[in-house]
Amino acid sequence: MKAGAEVIFKKYMDGIPVSDAGMHLVVGVSGGADSICLLFLLLGYFDKSDIRVIHINHMIRGEEADEDSLFVEKICEEHGVFFKEIKKDIPAYASENGLSEEEAGRRFRYECFEKEALEWEKECSFPEGSVRIAVAHHLEDNAETVLFNLFRGSGIKGLSGIGSERGRIIRPLIDMSRKDIEAYLEEKKITFRTDRTNADNSYARNRIRNVIIPEACEICSAAPEHISEASKKLRRISEYLGIQVDEARKAAVSSDAPGTFRVDRKAFESLPEIIGSMLILELLTELTPFKKDIGEVHAEAVISLLGAGAGKHADLPYGIKADVSAGELLLRTSDAAGRSREAEDLFVSAVYFKASDLEPDERKALTDPAFAGNGYTKYFDCDKITSIASLEGVSDPPYYEIRKRREGDHMMITAGGKAATRKIGDYLTDLKLSPDEKENILVCAVGSEVLWVIGRRMADSAKLDDGTVNILKLEVKE
């Protein structure tokens, strides 16, 4: 009698179309229970020559990571399977690209898998797309992702969870529970590695996996299955709405240059609210290098801009500019926009996120008074910015602007436990700057309240503290 894991796996694989050239698989294997289970199931279904194992060493856990690599390599040697280790300093990669280590690792892994698949096709003259990428996401991973996205305020796509397929990627374990995986490994007497960081509940995903999902199972033992089924229904709804968005895009959106979208206001305003929101989110996503950094909050900001009327402008993440005229909304990147109106040589990246998305050590670092960032990257409390905007009579999001200093500009500085307002002109005089240097100073300001003298110091009025809920990261580059 076959184990549950084998039945679920075979049902999935039997449903995957195979080309005349057969199927060839790049398999991501970390050494953990899930990926080891996937590898052995594949070895029972495919010829070993059709499998290439890729192990990514993230260089985070030192000797443990090296031992994981040796463990996977030994299994591959015993079964005559192609093995390749790719080492990457993920903490450094994350820092260089302004990413969390988790996101940096994910992106790098998929880049490596995709590269290996393309090289294999070229090397053996396989048809395009015949080399697939198999990864070991399982049912609880999907439930965890749905909950994580729900807590973060994601839209319908985020609540759709992890798909069973995406492009080259297949997920043969996506309907398989952790119990199915463990039962299979125990029955076959297959060993695996355990990453000790998986038990560290200071990480948000671990807390969901180790605390919230088990508690949900106390309420209903099939909670992960029910969450997964709900995500599949939401995925179908999302796909249907996507068709409506495509039709709306044909009617309302045009593009006359790379990195530029023109949205007809009359056509857009006739759309149902959900379709309009999804359309704007889709356009913004296409203008950014990293989809994860764009969310519904940005789409809502653009839609609010449309409601404010002609002549309104907003700066969005990755230098996206939004401008409203009488007949259209213009979305464009900084490159497409050319030189900015008041800060000609700057590229401004604005990323919004929740303080709750941060790991405890990340949050502590940002709120520590000793944390200074650098002269061209600062973190602000969004709710404090909103309060300042109300006092300054600024009603249009994103409330702040990057510009040259003006007469009457001031900033709040705390000294000796007391807050005091200081004129920007006096502050610059104390720096003993030349007239030319003063003339070229740029500020981030809400009305006449300066939040940041760019390249110099940040005011104290919108700094992060232990009560911060919403965070804005501003990065200014030449």
Cβ atoms of 358 and 366 within 8 Å: the answer is yes
* Cα distances (angstroms) measured from residue 161 to each of 29, 125, 149, 214, 336: 22, 35, 8, 19, 34
State the pLDDT confidence band at 309, using cuts at 50, 70 and 90: confident
pLDDT in tens, 245-285: 999 999 999 987 778 899 999 999 999 999 999 999 889 88
Of the spans 200-214, 282-296, 351-365, which averages the highest pLDDT? 200-214
User: Distance from CA of residue 391 to its chain's centroid?
Assistant: 33
Of the spans 196-210, 355-369, 426-440, which averages the highest pLDDT? 196-210
Flag the least confident range among 79-93, 137-151, 255-269: 255-269
Instruction: Determine the pLDDT at residue 140.
Output: 95
Round to whole Å and give the CA distance between 83 and 74: 9
List of domains in the chain: 4-233 (3.40.50.620), 255-338 (3.30.465.60), 348-477 (no CATH)
Strand 470-477, strand 377-381: pairing: antiparallel
- Mean pLDDT for 82-91 is 92
Round to whole Å and give the CA distance between 78 and 68: 16
Instruction: Determine the pLDDT at residue 60.
Output: 84
What angle do helix axes 90-97 and 101-124 make, rounded to 10 degrees? 100
Instruction: Determine the pLDDT at residue 204.
Output: 80
**Mean residue pLDDT across the chain:** 86
Round to whole Å and give the CA distance between 390 and 328: 28
Count of all residues that appear for the chain in the document: 478
Percent of the chain with pLDDT strictly greater than 70: 91
Instruction: Determine the pLDDT at residue 335.
Output: 60
What angle do helix axes 223-252 and 273-286 make, rounded to 10 degrees? 80
Flag the least confident range among 27-41, 256-270, 375-389, 414-428: 414-428
Instruction: Determine the pLDDT at residue 434.
Output: 57
pLDDT in tens, 382-399: 999 999 998 988 887 788
pLDDT at residue 401 tops 50: yes
Instruction: Determine the pLDDT at residue 313.
Output: 78
Instruction: Determine the pLDDT at residue 467.
Output: 87
Instruction: Determine the pLDDT at residue 237.
Output: 94
- Mean pLDDT for 168-184 is 95
- Mean pLDDT for 56-64 is 88
pLDDT in tens, 108-124: 999 999 999 999 999 99
463 residue type, one letter: K
- Mean pLDDT for 449-470 is 90
- Which has more confidence, 6 or 366? 6
Q: What's the number of CA atoms in the CB half-sphere (13 Å) around residue 90?
A: 20
pLDDT in tens, 333-374: 866 544 333 455 567 888 888 888 877 777 766 766 555 455
Q: Which segments of 212-286 are extended strands (E)?
A: 253-254, 260-264
pLDDT at residue 377 tops 90: no
